[in-house]
Amino acid sequence: MRKLFITFIVSILACQMQAKVQTLTSPNGRIKVEINVADRISYQVSAGNELLLADCQASLQVGKEWLGRNAKLKGVKRSAINQTISNVVPLKNATTQNHANVLTLQFAGNYALEFRAYDNGFAYRFVLNRKGTVDIVDEGMTWRFPEASTLHISKTNTFVTSCEEPYVHLSSAEWKPEDGMTHLPILAESAKGTKMLFSEADLRDYPNTFLMSMGSNCLKAIFPKAPEAWEPLGDRSETITREGNYIAHTSANRTLPWRYVVIGDAATIASNEMGRCLAPPCELSDVSWIRPGKVIWDWWNNWSVWNVDFPVGINNPTYKYFIDFAANYGIEYILLDEGWCRDVRNPFEMVDDIDVSELVEYGKSKGVGVWLWMTWLAVEQHPDVIEHYAKMGVKGLKIDFMDHSDQWMVNFYERTTKACAKHHLMVDFHGSFKPAGLEYRYPNLLAYEGVRGMEQCGGCTPDNTIWLPLMRNAVGAMDFTPGSMNSMQPKYYVTSRSNPAGMGTRAYQMALYVIFETGLQMLADSPTRYMQNDECARFIASVPVTWDETRVLSAKAGKYIVVAKRKGERWFVAALTNNESQDLTLDLGFLTRNGQLTAFRDGTNAHRVAVDYRKQQQAVSPSTKLSIHLAPSGGWCGVIE
């Protein structure tokens, strides 16, 4: 009888645990995640008294089995994380505080769901604890808004994308299933104005996530299938001719990528380090050779220098001129972009006028390193090219045109970055997807493109760019390629291949260097043009790419942003706006003592003649409040010493 009674009690407790809604709150109690385990696993998320996400589903199809459907809850574990992370490449802060409450739900069938609640958002992931390998056929992930929310997304009709589409802004009620899809990250705004940044982290041996509408204010995750056969596509890529019926063939004993949402106002989104908190630790024992910095770039300015006594172009005299400029301005690197090798499919054979070894040695004598551009296909087909140029003394590779983000290509990123690390080469991925954690495991990966940057010229408008601190750059390093001295207002914009121009005022272009975050920051314009604008170039060259401390002083989504960043004893402060003028007040209360401000502001006529700027200097203190005016597509930047 006693045995039957105990069995009865255990059965009751098991049923109660099975039906119970599990609640997880952030350390400050503001963010609450409620997970319901029934015939399916669903959850809802609120911030304070505002319900932000409702009836969101989490499931995983492994072979023919759907994990998360009719799930049997076996155990519940609660814990907390409270750690300080030291950053190898500190794009925001020298250290990052990782503070979260954790809820792990263990299910029959040897899998679990792990949730984390942070003061500025939440994350979850599947954990598999099985043997061998599995085919993951699909992941059932939905994000549902309880009422219509405003979405800021990059629409694409195909998984083949360089992630450079402009942002579109629409209601979740207007976005239909037939309207295409978007890649991550995306930004949503609730009816009350709360911002939500959606992305993923710790992406390994798994495809990138895309989203499409399901209607009824609900977004659904979709994934590129795993490729099984390819054929050549031009001289720099391949096209997939056959796909598997799964999205990933992978280990059955692993964690899957984190799905995360940052929640708060615009300043919270721009200052978040959620991806850093969710990343696994660095896998390199020696990182002393990794040197973030700035690089003078050739392609955008079309190798155009003048007032010289040699024919300019893709030749050693032109690149030596670039090296001399870099040395004079304290810029760490030059980059040889497309054109230095005779055929992009053969990165070992240079054109007649290029000798990379000679340029490396010349740069060494001037304290300037050399980077080389290559296609991903060349690296894939000639993996020994990494060791070849590393032995020559090249410092890094800019690898381009991946344009895919399936499991195979995600693994290409990792094995290439790892091979480069073995030979002490740094990496910049162009034609790429967004950062998702590899850069923390292998911090020699300094930058990703995956952005509508200035190389788009007339397609790179301030109205689009103003969203980047809250979207693309909010999830990691971003190679935007700023720095045009040939600055123009959008309504007067003209450009040509031999005389490229950038949108935004001169002060706007300079402010980008303070606000945008990347471990490898380009100077896109001609060395000659920079020397003609020496005081602007000197300021740009002085802006660090890594920081001890970052503060977002104020921001309004799609309108403006003001940021202050500290490196040692110096504070750099900058502001950007969209295509509308702004009058802002900068409170310097973050200072701990008095200092001297050197600032660059939009000139009186910058609304017409975008190169118009004024330099000013003044004493400042922690009680100083600066009134600044930003012209349309304008900016402001300065340094306090």
Contact between 437 and 443 under an 8 Å Cβ cutoff? The reply is no
pLDDT at residue 20, as a whole number: 81
Res. 227: pLDDT tops 50? yes
pLDDT at residue 292, as a whole number: 98
Res. 14: pLDDT tops 80? no
Cis amide leading into 257 (omega within 30): no
Mean pLDDT for all residues in the chain: 96
Average pLDDT over residues 408-423: 98
Longest dimension (CA), the chain: 103
Angstrom distance (rounded) from CA 17 to CA 75: 8
- Residue 5 gets the label, from left (phi > 0), alpha (psi -120 to 50) or beta, of alpha
pLDDT band at 556 (very low <50, low <70, confident <90, very high): very high
Res. 311: pLDDT tops 90? yes
Q: Which of 455, 479, 517, 602 is catalytic?
A: 455
Contact between 509 and 482 under an 8 Å Cβ cutoff? The reply is yes
Contact between 197 and 261 under an 8 Å Cβ cutoff? The reply is yes
- 439 catalytic? Reply is no
pLDDT band at 13 (very low <50, low <70, confident <90, very high): very low
Res. 388: pLDDT tops 50? yes
Q: Which two tokens stand for residue 456?
A: 């788009």
pLDDT band at 489 (very low <50, low <70, confident <90, very high): very high
Q: What does the pLDDT look like over 619-629, one tens digit per residue?
A: 999 999 999 99
Q: What is the DSSP letter of 110?
A: T
Neighbours of 72 (CB within 10 A): 12
Res. 10: pLDDT tops 70? no
Q: Return the half-sphere exposure (C-beta side, CA atoms, 13 A cut-off) of residue 305.
A: 26
Which one has a higher pLDDT value, 12 or 164? Answer: 164
Average pLDDT over residues 546-561: 98
pLDDT band at 211 (very low <50, low <70, confident <90, very high): very high
Res. 5: pLDDT tops 50? no
Angstrom distance (rounded) from CA 413 to CA 447: 12
pLDDT at residue 52, as a whole number: 98
Share of residues in the chain with pLDDT > 70 (%): 97
Average pLDDT over residues 193-204: 98
Angstrom distance (rounded) from CA 513 to CA 319: 23
Q: Which of 164, 400, 403, 439 is catalytic?
A: 400
Q: Say whether 318 sits in a helix, a strand or coil.
A: helix
Backbone angles phi, psi at 394, to 5 degrees: -65, 145
Closest C-alpha to 41, from 103, 102, 107: 107
Average pLDDT over residues 577-604: 98
Q: Which two tokens stand for residue 18?
A: 């099975």
DSSP for 551-610, written as a single string: EEEEEETTTEEEEEEEETTEEEEEEEE-SS-EEEEEE-TT-SS-EEEEEEEE-TTTTTST
**447 bridge partner residues:** 428
Angstrom distance (rounded) from CA 391 to CA 425: 10
Q: What stretch of H or E contains 128?
A: strand 121-144
Q: Say whether 433 sits in a helix, a strand or coil.
A: coil
Closest C-alpha to 74, from 51, 105, 50, 45: 105
Angstrom distance (rounded) from CA 441 to CA 313: 38
CA angle 93, 96, 100 (to 5 degrees): 150
Contact between 272 and 121 under an 8 Å Cβ cutoff? The reply is yes
164-182 as b/e: b if 16+ CB within 10 A: bbebeeeebbebeeeebbb
**56 bridge partner residues:** 43
Angstrom distance (rounded) from CA 103 to CA 108: 17
Contact between 516 and 635 under an 8 Å Cβ cutoff? The reply is no
- 400 catalytic? Reply is yes
Q: Return the half-sphere exposure (C-beta side, CA atoms, 13 A cut-off) of residue 616.
A: 14
Closest C-alpha to 480, from 494, 463, 468: 468
- 162-166's contacts with Cβ under 8 Å and 24+ in sequence apart are 162/401, 162/403, 162/430, 162/431, 162/432, 162/449, 162/450, 163/432, 163/433, 163/434, 163/449, 163/450, 163/451, 164/449, 164/450, 164/451, 164/452, 164/453, 164/456, 165/452, 166/452, 166/459, 166/461, 166/464
Q: What is the DSSP letter of 398?
A: E
Q: Return the half-sphere exposure (C-beta side, CA atoms, 13 A cut-off) of residue 127.
A: 12
Average pLDDT over residues 307-328: 98
pLDDT at residue 141, as a whole number: 98
